[in-house]
Amino acid sequence: MKPRFNFIAAILVGMAMYNPAGASGPKDNIVTPQVVNGDAVPKGKYKFMVALQRSDADPVKNPTQHTCGATLLSPKYILTAAHCVVKLDADGNPTPEPRDTSFYTAIAGMTSYGTNQGQKRKIKAINIHPLFLQGPGFIPYDVAVLELDMKVTGLPKIKLAKPGEDAPGVVPTIAGWGSMVAWYPAWYPEYVPPRVLPDGMRSAALPIIDNQSCSDAYPGDFDANVQVCTYRPAQAGCQGDSGGPLFRKIKGRFVEVGIVSWAAGCAAPGWPEVFTRVSNPEIRNFIWSVTNNK
């Protein structure tokens, strides 16, 4: 059977298909409630994290209205995935056109929903990478820089990775407020389990794997030039984690090496998670062009 690619946003959108080798397994293994994002994050540990909310999210199914993660680039700009903030076509696939800024609210420096933590800001402008959806691979150049209506204060910004800081074998961290339910579409591709979004941020350490292993898993869909992969059994991002960071600490500073983008399901056995490669010059230069390198 063919698994779907999952944009790891809180709202599921269009999928591409491919054939796995020897995909099989019991249905009971599809929806295994578990913390696919790892451990609870202590209050205030990652103050560069930003939560994105959508005003049109179903308040019953998604009381927090959470949709994606992001990171603080400067007091006025945040970094996220382009597919989090663009319009969809009739089939549910992303387009290059940004949605209206009024759909989104950003909360910077928050660890848990349902508290008075963080600084809430409206979105003034959405900047999508000009090559988003162009070129080889599945949703390449999945990056967007959002301008806030007002500066946040007293929060640290994240640095951008340089080439080599995202090498295979490095074990960075993923963090976010995404679903805690694993999803294995290779076995039952038409079944998507309900999301279980935590109130508090969760994190996990995910090893970066070599490009060939990721290409073998996603032939024709992974582009090592603009994407980087991680894999650890039973741990990964899921719906709601899109746009959030894959990051590590270098010389005392948090450095973002990837932006959560897509995967086959959530924590599906044998299927890596794909991130936008921040160290790519075209991606770094785009980010700097929007923020004026601040």
Q: What is the pLDDT of residue 229?
A: 96
Task: Give the C-alpha separation, 194 to 147, whole Å.
Answer: 32
3-state DSSP percent of the chain in helix, strand and coil, to 5: 10, 35, 55
Torsion angle, CA of 98/102/108/113, rounded to 10 degrees? -110
Residue 18 is assigned to a structural domain of this protein: no
Residue 198 forms part of a structural domain: yes
Task: Specify if 166 maps to a domain.
Answer: yes
Greatest alpha-carbon span in the chain: 52
Band of pLDDT at residue 6, cut at 50, 70 and 90: low
Give the phi and the psi of residue 32 in degrees, each rounded to 5: -105, 100
Q: How many domains does the chain have?
A: 1
Query: What is the β-pairing status of strands 253-264 and 159-160?
Result: parallel
Residue 135 CB partners (closer than 8 Å, separation 6+): 141, 223, 226
In whole angstroms, give the CA distance from residue 258 to residue 241. 12
Four-residue CA torsion sign, 97, 246, 284, 210:
negative
Give the least confident one: 83-92, 175-184, 260-269, 279-288: 175-184
User: Going along the chain, which residue ranges are E strands?
Assistant: 5-7, 39-40, 49-54, 66-72, 77-80, 86-88, 94-98, 104-108, 119-128, 144-148, 159-160, 173-176, 202-205, 227-230, 245-250, 253-264, 273-277
Q: Is the pTM of this model over 0.75?
A: yes
The pLDDT, as a whole number, for residue 271 is 86
Give pLDDT tens digits for 70-107: 999 999 999 999 999 999 999 888 999 999 999 999 99
pLDDT at 1: 33
Q: How far apart are CA 123 and CA 143, in angstroms?
A: 16
Residue 200 pLDDT level (bands cut at 50, 70, 90): confident
Cα 283 to Cα 289: distance, rounded to the nearest angstrom: 10
CATH number of the domain that 209 lies in? 2.40.10.10
**What length is written for the chain?**
294
Task: Tell me if 84 is assigned to some domain.
Answer: yes
145 φ/ψ angles, rounded to the nearest 5 degrees: -115, 125
Mean pLDDT of 211-220: 94
Would residue 254 count as lying in a domain? yes
How far apart CA 1 and CA 267 sit, in angstroms, is: 18
Assign 211 to helix, strand or coil: helix
Tokens standing for residue 51: 């939560």
DSSP state for residue 68 in the 8-state scheme = E
Residue 200 falls inside a structural domain: yes
| Residue 24 forms part of a structural domain | no
Residue 271 sits at φ, ψ, to 5 deg, of -115, 115
Reduced to 3 states (helix: H, G, I; strand: E, B; else coil), residue 103 is helix
Task: Summarize pLDDT for 176-194 with one digit per residue, the tens.
Answer: 987 666 666 655 556 565 6
Q: How confident is the model at residue 237 (pLDDT cuts 50, 70, 90)?
A: confident
Q: Kindly report which listed range (2-16, 20-34, 232-246, 249-263) carries the lowest average pLDDT score.
A: 20-34
In a domain, 79, yes or no: yes
Query: What sections of the chain are H helices per DSSP?
Result: 211-217, 281-291
Range of the domain at 70: 5-13+32-291
